[in-house]
Amino acid sequence: MKPFNRSSLIAVLTLIILFVTLEQSKACTRVVYQGPNKTILTARSMDWQTEIPANLWVLPRGMERNGEVGTGSVKWKAKYGSVVTSSWDIASSDGMNEKGLVGNLLWLVESSYTPFVKDGEKKGISVSLWLQYALDNFATVSEAVRELEKEEFAVVSSEIPGTDIFATIHLSLSDATGDNAIFEYIDGKLVIHHGMEYITMTNSPIFDKQLAISSYWNNIPGTIMLPGTNRAADRFVRATYYIRAIPQTDDIRVATPAVLSVIRNCSVPFGISSESEPNISSTRWRTISDHKNLIYYFDNVLNPNVLWVDFSKLSFSENAPVKKLNLSNNEVYAGETSASFVTSEPFAFLGL
């Protein structure tokens, strides 16, 4: 390791300034804890300038879906059941399936998707279903990468209803082995970063440049200095450092709150926003997915309690009903809440 000196500090600060000028997006953070004895936890925050109503859903196996982009839509039947967090009940933005595969959607303003013509020859899928497609069809990250890298369909985006905001998203997947993959569409091409080492992800810039700043900070001990702002580049550095600095343990009663403390450290305090820096937005909610024990935690910043869902108490069988836990009105729950889900009609994914 190179010694910490003034030259390396200047280089890091210069790189940070460059990244700040590139950030144009809504903010989120995602980080993976790779503990001993297959103790794998994925945490993420959802940051947004306005309210982004969230509900939890139990989606069983066997559900028939299509890409919602016209006659060329991809069609499939869910192989695996999942628990997901919806955004506005038009998209799955976060979740884990019964095999321990976790998906997280984060904003990436640099996203530029493959050109798509509705009802044309090219198969397509709405970006609102991108994460759900992975949870429905794959048990591991490697399996997902092998299939998605074929690019047999286009990911298609559109404006968020009621706004002029064009949805630009990148996708992260993690699994019960601690494997990771980041999927980004840059200049119309799918770019995949696949490896155990890709434990941290934020927003802009593209993931290649996030890795660049991380390499600089690896030479500066976190006990000496860490960047403290709410910007994506700074959150990336803090998340990467703290997820490795917290206790490395297979005691889930220690690991889970430790990981929660990391994602809270990388959150933006409620009510914080900046008209001149739209990339800084309040954290609305956070999740932690326990891949080994199949427990999904949800932390709403406007509620005093953390709730969780134990998959062993749910039915994902093909004949099981869709169930919903309404959280969009900041309902208060605490602890294990599987019994509070109610049978519901599935939400409709946003399409073209």
Residue 51 makes CB contacts below 8 A (sequence gap 6+) with 284
Q: How far apart are CA 123 and CA 13, in angstroms?
A: 44
Please state the pTM of the whole predicted model.
Answer: 0.88
Amino acid 273: pLDDT: 67
pLDDT tens, position by position, 331-348 = 999 999 999 999 999 999
Grade residue 282 by pLDDT with cuts at 50, 70 and 90: confident
50 compared with 318, residue with greater pLDDT: 318
Angle (nearest 5°) at CA 81 between 75 and 86: 80
Active site residues: 28
**10 Å Cβ neighbour count for 350?**
21
Residue 206: its pLDDT value, please?
A: 80
**Mean pLDDT to the nearest integer, 291-312:** 96
pLDDT in tens, 172-206: 999 999 999 999 999 999 999 999 999 999 887 78
Spatial contact of 266 and 29, defined as CB atoms under 8 Å apart: yes
Average pLDDT, the chain: 88
The structural architecture, per CATH, of the domain 6-343 is 4-Layer Sandwich (3.60)
Q: Which residue has the tokens 């890409």?
A: 67
For the chain, the helix, strand and coil percentages under 3-state DSSP, each to the nearest 5? 25, 30, 50
Q: Which helix (H) or strand (E) holds 238?
A: helix 232-245
Angstrom CA distances, 187 to 109, 176, 221, stand at 12, 32, 36
Q: Which DSSP string corresponds to 136-164?
A: HH-SSHHHHHHHHTT--SEEE--BPTTS-
